[in-house]
Amino acid sequence: MTTHTEERAAELRAALADTLEADGRLTDPAWRKAFETVPRQAFVPEFWILADAERRLVSAAHPDWLDLVYTDDALATQMTDGVATSSSTAPGLMASMLQALEVADGHRVLEVATGTGYNSALLSERLGSGQVVTVEVDPALARLAESRLRHCGYSPLVVAGDGRDGYPGRAPYDRLIATCAFSTIPTSWLEQVRPAGLIVCPLGWGTVSLVVGYDGRAEGRFLPGGSYFMAARDSGTTGTPAHPGRPSATSGRLTAVDPAVVAEDDAFRFVLSLITPDTAFAFERGDNGTVTALELWAVDGAWARCEGGAVRQAGPRPLWDAVEAAHALYVENDRPSRERFGVTVTVQAQRIWLDAPCCPVPRAPVVI
**Active-site residues: which are they?**
86
What backbone phi and psi angles, to 5 degrees, belong to 111?
Answer: -105, 135
Under 8 Å between Cβ of 121 and 240 = no
If you compute the radius of gyration of the chain from its CA atoms, what whole number of angstroms results? 21
Under 8 Å between Cβ of 90 and 115 = no
- Rounded to whole angstroms, the Cα distance separating 57 from 46 reads 7
- Rounded to whole angstroms, the Cα distance separating 222 from 353 reads 11
Which DSSP helix (H) or strand (E) runs through 83?
strand 83-88
- Rounded to whole angstroms, the Cα distance separating 234 from 239 reads 7
Edge-first strand listing for the sheet containing 75-80:
54-59, 46-51, 75-80, 83-88
Residue 172: asked if its preceding bond is cis (omega within 30°), the reply is yes
Question: CA end-to-end span of the chain, whole Å?
Answer: 58
Edge-first strand listing for the sheet containing 303-307:
253-254, 310-314, 303-307, 291-298, 279-285
Under 8 Å between Cβ of 146 and 139 = no
Contacts of 294 (CB under 8 A, 6+ apart): 259, 262, 263, 281, 282, 283, 284, 305, 306, 307
